[in-house]
Amino acid sequence: MNKNRPVNLNLGAFKWPITAISSGLHRITGILLFLSIPFWLWALQESFTADGFVYVKGLLSGIIAKAIAWLLLSMLAYHIVAGVRHLLMDAGIGETLEGGRRGSYTVLVLGVLSAALIGVWLW
Amino acid sequence: MVTSATSLGRSGLHDWIIQRITAVVLAAYVIYFLGFIFSAEVIEFSVWKHLFSQVWFKVFSLLALASIVFHAWIGMWIVSTDYIKPTGIRLVFQAFVILFCFACLIWGAQILWGV
Ligand code: HEM
């Protein structure tokens, strides 16, 4: 490898086109969802006893647990929306530069919209 | 050098296909779940427990969990090859991810079949 390549470590100097943002968010949500699996399993396990069911449901009335649930569900929603777009692009839909920009924009809007809906449903 | 020794499918194309199939299974599971939640106005304990006591739903749920862990194995493998350059550290990270996935799958199977 050429060791004299120019190196740019100034993060502020990078450009962040909308396509990079939507793709980066898909990756971050994927990683965080991966880490959250034991949390879901724990809630599922608790929910199968009468006391645990009440307990888990009761947790959701607390502001912190509610905020965590909102974040996790919103991340899942975004990951799915961006994932479906991935599948569409695999099928050859929206693969042009312009289509990519429009797709990223659509995905971000739908992500914000589903986060809002999940918030309304939880609160 | 990055080799595919720790990837799920041992080949990029194989991983790519599994990633898509598991994504579709998960989307189907989420859609079914949304339908369930919004058709039952209040989710009571008995309704919840009944849902998970049906064998077909246990199978569907375990299929979804298996899809999650395989999907995550592949996804995290890709992420690790992008960011973790030293082979030793990447290997340890990948081993951790794989063990984590299997542990979740076993735990989940035990939860689902314990209902
Ligand atoms: C619920 C648990 C889920 C977890 C833990 C998860 C995790 C991940 C991770 C870590 C990645 C790798 C990200 C990257 O390479 O940048 C990924 C990629 C992907 N996810 Fe998920 N995901 C989940 C659900 C879903 C669902 C429901 C869909 C449905 C559409 C989906 C669609 C995709 C697709 C298409 C990719 C491939 C992206 C690529 O090829 O670059 N995921 N996921």
Ligand 1 pocket (Cβ < 6 Å) reads A 26-27, 30-31, 33-34, 76, 79-80, 83-84, 86-87; B 19, 23, 26-27, 30, 68, 71-72, 75-76, 78-79
pLDDT in tens, B3-62: 888 999 989 999 999 999 999 999 999 999 999 998 987 889 999 999 999 999 999 999
Give me the average pLDDT of each 10-residue run along chain A (123 residues).
Answer: 69 84 97 97 96 92 93 98 97 94 96 96 91
Q: So what's the architecture of A18-122 in CATH?
A: Up-down Bundle (1.20)
The token pair at A6 is 């120019």
- Long-range Cβ contact pairs of B45-48 (< 8 A, separation 24 or more): B45/A50, B45/A53, B45/A54, B48/A47, B48/A53
- Residue B88 within any structural domain of the chain: yes
Which residue's C-alpha comes closest to atom 42 of ligand 1? B23
ipTM, two decimals: 0.93
**Residue B102 forms part of a structural domain:** yes
Our CA-based measurement puts residue A45 at a distance from the nearest CA of chain B, in whole angstroms, of: 6
Token look-up 């909308």 returns A18
Structure tokens that stand for A45 in this block:
């396990």
Domain count, chain B: 1
Sign of the CA dihedral B40, A111, A107, A8? Answer: negative
- For ligand 1, the distance from its centroid to the CA atom of residue B23, given in whole angstroms, is 7
Q: How many CB atoms lie within 10 A of CB A17?
A: 13
For the residues of B34-66, what is the DSSP string, one character each?
A: HHHHHHSSS--HHHHHHHHHSHHHHHHHHHHHH
Tokens found for residue B17: 């296909």
Tell me the whole-structure pTM to 2 decimals: 0.91
In a domain, B1, yes or no: no
Domain that holds residue B65: 12-114
Q: Determine, yes or no, domain membership for B4.
A: no
